Homo-oligomer: A and B are copies of this chain.
Amino acid sequence: MRIVVTGAGGFVGRELVGRLVGAGHAVTGLDTMAADLPAPAQMVVGDIGDAAVRARALAQGCDALVHLATVPGGAAEADPALSRRINVDAMYDLLLEAGAAAPGLRVVYASSIAVFGDPLPAQVDDATPLSPRMIYGGHKAMMEHAVAMFSNRGLIDGVTVRLPGILARPKGPSGLKSAFMSDLFHALRAGEAFTCPVSAGGTIWAQSVLRCVDNLVHALTLDSARLPSTRAVTLPALRLTMGELAAEIARQCGVGDDLVRFAPDPALETAFAANPPLATPAADHAGFAHDGDVATLVANALATI
């Protein structure tokens, strides 16, 4: 099977491509910058907003599409027009083009818990209405409907998975306001002090990148009859406090958790560390899963950084 992965150079994309190549799939990766993808995956470098670039990505064939490419939250907030161009317009065009090339192909769309907006209600479950506030979440929500519509029309066979915080991202600027969750891993593994911009009691929803890739691979072959009519599921995630996370990372890295100081920024606390209890029966029913427990999550996350 030839699988096109957009955003293949990102940290989730690279792990996914490796997994797919290992399973014997042919992979075409698309990203804005060249990335070392495992052979024999092919890489197309360019702007996904450019029709010619998308055409090159589809030119080798496309039996399934995993759409990870995105202008992330912080960058979208800083440049809403860019987010519109990439997160809405380019994706809409890509769905049309992929569906024309291979009608009814499986499309896995990485949406985000940002579709729920902030502040979140006291509990989030499959009945929670979408009321995005950030540009990123708004554009992700708009495109969830496009995936549903095109699936109902038979153009594609779409699966939307809303990703929680994925741990751990590489060091360095990501454009994501939630990057502090990953930076905590890098600091403690290096034995360095870390100032956490949310409180020790701040609650997050998290999944390791390994578990996220398991879920994306599952989404590629899932029978879509197991999905809700919206084609969208909120992925299961462990709900844990930043204090718990810091203590477990410190334990596994053999350092003291007194390296971590908590200096909450109210805006970040509200947006990323006030996550209420989460129930994901639709995703559970469809066979998606989280890491199981905090120790496994941290071990999985440390394994990829």
Q: Which of B121, B146, B230 contacts A131 (CB 8 A)?
A: B230
Q: Are A146 and B152 within 8 A (Cβ)?
A: no
Q: What B residues does A138 contact at CB under 8 A?
A: 145-146, 148-150
Count A-side interface residues using an 8 Å CB cutoff.
Answer: 28
Residues of B within 8 A of A103 (CB): none
Question: At the interface, yes or no: A165 with Cβ under 8 Å from chain B?
Answer: no
Taking a contact as CB atoms under 8 Å apart, the answer to whether B229 and A131 are in contact is yes
Q: How many whole Å from A127's CB to the nearest CB in chain B?
A: 6
CB closest residue in chain B, given A147? B138
Question: Contact: A228 with B129, CB < 8 Å?
Answer: yes
Q: What 0/1 pattern do residues 151 to 169 of A give for CB contact below 8 A with B?
A: 0110000000000000000
Q: How far is the CA of A138 from the CA of B150 in the complex (A)?
A: 9
Contact status A135-B149, CB under 8 Å: yes
| Selected contact of A130 from candidates B117, B137, B145, CB within 8 Å | B145
What residues on B are CB-neighbors of A11 within 8 Å? none
- A141 proximity list for chain B (CB < 8 A): 145, 148-149
A132 within 8 A of B: yes
Minimum CB–CB distance for A120 against chain B, Å: 10
Given contacts A84-B92, A92-B84, A142-B142, contact A229 B148 (CB under 8 A): no
A279 → chain B closest CB, angstroms: 15
A-B contact pairs, 17 of them (CB 8 A): A84-B92, A117-B229, A129-B229, A130-B145, A130-B148, A131-B148, A131-B152, A131-B229, A131-B230, A133-B152, A135-B149, A137-B149, A138-B145, A141-B145, A141-B149, A142-B146, A145-B145
* 7 further A-B pairs in the complex, CB-CB below 8 A; given A131-B231, A133-B152: A127-B127, A130-B230, A134-B149, A137-B149, A138-B145, A138-B146, A138-B150
Name the 9 nearest CB pairs between A and B, nearest first: A138-B149, A133-B152, A131-B229, A141-B145, A142-B142, A129-B230, A142-B145, A132-B149, A131-B148
Residues on A lying within 8 angstroms of B by beta carbon are 84, 92, 117, 121, 127, 129-135, 137-138, 141-143, 145-146, 148-150, 152-153, 228-231
